[in-house]
C-alpha cells in the first residue's frame, strides 16, 4: 500500500464509519441479535435452575448462546462489505478514495469500532441474566478477573468472526454466496469436521474461538487456553484480511 498521511487515513476511516452507521440492516441485525440472545439466555437459565450454579456454570450458561449469536455478527461483517457492490456504490467509493488498500483497511477498522461495544453488551447481557435469575439458588459468586477475561474473550471472538466474514465478503463480493458459505461452515461443516478430525479440530476457527470465552471442563482433553484460541482465530482472520486486501487492489470494481 502507498504511504498515506494519518490525517488522510482518519478522514477515510470517518467516511467508512458514516457508511456503516447509516446502514439500516446493521442496526436491525444488532437489535435482533440482542433480542435472540436474551431469549436464549432465558431458555438456558430455565433449564439449568435445578443444577449446581458454580462460577463455571454461570459463565457457561450465560455464553451458551454464542454459537447462535455469532450468526448475527457474520451477517454484519458480510453486509458491511457486500452492500457496496449491490447498488454499485463501490465505484463511487473508489473514485473518491483511490487508495484501495487503505480504504479497505479503514473499513475493517470501522467495522471493529462498531462491533466491539455491541459484542461486549450482548455478551455481558447473556451472563447477567442467569446471574440474576440464579443468585438465590446457589453460591454464584464470580471472580471479577474471571468475568472480565471471559467477556473480553467473547467480545474478541465475535469481533474477529465479524472481520473474518467481512474479509471473505471482500473476496466473493456477493451477499448470498458468502452467507451460505459461512453459515454452512459454522453450523454444519465445522461441527462435522470436529467429529471427523478430532486431532486437528482445535485449529479450526470456530473450535479455537470456543476456548476464547468458554471455561473448559475439568476432564476435557486437549483443551486450548484462551490465549491459544485467540492466537489461532487471529491468524485465520489476518490471513483472510491480507488476501482480501491483495485481491481488492488488483481486481476491477
Best-predicted range by mean pLDDT (16-30, 53-67, 153-167): 153-167
Neighbours of 213 (CB within 10 A): 26
Let me know if residue 224 belongs to a domain. Answer: yes
Answer yes or no: is pLDDT of 88 > 90: no
Q: Which three cell numbers stand for residue 192?
A: 462435522
Let me know if residue 1 belongs to a domain. Answer: no
Give residue-wise pLDDT tens across range 194-225: 888 888 989 999 999 999 998 766 566 778 88
Residue-range definition of the domain harbouring residue 205: 6-250
- Sequence-separated contacts (24+) of 50-58 with Cβ below 8 Å: 50/137, 52/138, 53/130, 53/134, 53/137, 53/138, 53/139, 53/140, 54/138, 54/139, 54/140, 55/140, 55/141, 55/142, 55/143, 55/146, 56/215, 56/217, 58/127, 58/130, 58/131, 58/134, 58/140, 58/142
Q: What is the mean pLDDT of residues 232-253?
A: 89
Let me know if residue 143 belongs to a domain. Answer: yes
Confidence of residue 3 (pLDDT cuts 50, 70, 90): low
| Domain count of the fold of the chain | 1
pLDDT of residue 218: 59
Let me know if residue 112 belongs to a domain. Answer: yes
d(CA 122, CA 205): 21
Render the burial of 188-198: b for 16+ CB within 10 Å, e for the rest: eebbebbeeee
Answer yes or no: is pLDDT of 142 > 80: no
Task: Write the DSSP symbol of residue 50.
Answer: T
Let me know if residue 76 belongs to a domain. Answer: yes
Let me know if residue 245 belongs to a domain. Answer: yes
pLDDT of residue 234: 97
Confidence of residue 55 (pLDDT cuts 50, 70, 90): very low
d(CA 40, CA 42): 5
pLDDT of residue 144: 84
Give residue-wise pLDDT tens across range 92-128: 776 777 778 888 999 999 999 999 999 999 999 998 8
Over the Cα atoms of the chain, what is R_g? 19
Amino acid at each position: 500500500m502507498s504511504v498515506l498521511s494519518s490525517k488522510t487515513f482518519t478522514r477515510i476511516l470517518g467516511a467508512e464509519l458514516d457508511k456503516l452507521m447509516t446502514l439500516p440492516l446493521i442496526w436491525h441485525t444488532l437489535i435482533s441479535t440482542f433480542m435472540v440472545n436474551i431469549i436464549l439466555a432465558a431458555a438456558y437459565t430455565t433449564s439449568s435452575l435445578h443444577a449446581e450454579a458454580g462460577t463455571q456454570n454461570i459463565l457457561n450458561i450465560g455464553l451458551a448462546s454464542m454459537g447462535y449469536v455469532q450468526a448475527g455478527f457474520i451477517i454484519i461483517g458480510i453486509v458491511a462489505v457486500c452492500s457496496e457492490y449491490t447498488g454499485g456504490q463501490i465505484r463511487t467509493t473508489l473514485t473518491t478514495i483511490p487508495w484501495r488498500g487503505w480504504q479497505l483497511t479503514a473499513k475493517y477498522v470501522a467495522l471493529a469500532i462498531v462491533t466491539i461495544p455491541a459484542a461486549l453488551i450482548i455478551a455481558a447481557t447473556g451472563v447477567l441474566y442467569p446471574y440474576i435469575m440464579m443468585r438465590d439458588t446457589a453460591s454464584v459468586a464470580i471472580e471479577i478477573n474471571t468475568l472480565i477475561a471471559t467477556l473480553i474473550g467473547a467480545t474478541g471472538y465475535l469481533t474477529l468472526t465479524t472481520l473474518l466474514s467481512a474479509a471473505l465478503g471482500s473476496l466473493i463480493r456477493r451477499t448470498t454466496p458468502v452467507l451460505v458459505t459461512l453459515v454452512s461452515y459454522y453450523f454444519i461443516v465445522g461441527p462435522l469436521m470436529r467429529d471427523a478430525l478430532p486431532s486437528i479440530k482445535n485449529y479450526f476457527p470456530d473450535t479455537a474461538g470456543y476456548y476464547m470465552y468458554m471455561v473448559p471442563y475439568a476432564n476435557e482433553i486437549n483443551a486450548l487456553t484462551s490465549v491459544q484460541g485467540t492466537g489461532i482465530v487471529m491468524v485465520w482472520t489476518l490471513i483472510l484480511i491480507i488476501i482480501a486486501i491483495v485481491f481488492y487492489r488488483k481486481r476491477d470494481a
